[in-house]
Amino acid sequence: MSLVANQIGDILWSPYQIGVVVGTAVLLVGIERFYRTRTGRAILAMAEDRDSALLRGVDPTRLTRWSFLLGGALAAFAGVMAGPLLLASLTLGPQLLLKGFAAVAAGGVGNNKGALIAGVILGLAESAGGAMLAPGYQLAVVFGVLLIILMIRPHGLFGKQAARAV
């Protein structure tokens, strides 16, 4: 795909950026389908209560290895996809960490679709804040929007208040 920018009105985009967004959506659908398989449900059960999953016959050692393998593969995929879009710097890690945390908190912890939708909302707010105010205020706009979302819905846009039943 090309990194050449196209313009529609005031919006600049490249086919590569569209590919990253579509690839992320496809990956999210794949992860959601994986969680519906027997192995995916076993991983979720192990994350919820390791001892109970062990009593149900789940092998925690094998699933832990697979979880780390899949997590590393997804991190590598994200790095390869985001590499051409981001400029490398010493502050890149903390910036991405803070924005990722904001997306997860705004979308609802444990809800992948909510985090993706909240990430898009926060990204649009960040871009709009940089265009309307100044680029230095982008992160402040992101956290301002996060605070507004959490004041309206304390568990995030798609989060649920859940009490643990024993």
Question: pLDDT averaged over the chain?
Answer: 85
d(Cα 105, Cα 97) in Å, to the nearest integer? 12
User: Which pLDDT band, with edges at 50, 70 and 90, does 151 fall under?
Assistant: very high
**Nearest to 118, CA basis, from 74, 144, 156:** 156
User: Which pLDDT band, with edges at 50, 70 and 90, does 163 fall under?
Assistant: low
Q: Residue 124 is which amino acid?
A: L
Residues 15-69: pLDDT tens digits?
Answer: 888 888 888 889 888 988 998 999 888 988 888 888 888 888 888 888 889 889 9
d(Cα 41, Cα 56) in Å, to the nearest integer? 12
Residue appearing with tokens 């995929």: 77
Q: Residue 106 is which amino acid?
A: A
d(Cα 58, Cα 8) in Å, to the nearest integer? 52
pTM of this prediction exceeds 0.85: no
Check residue 166 and give its pLDDT. 43
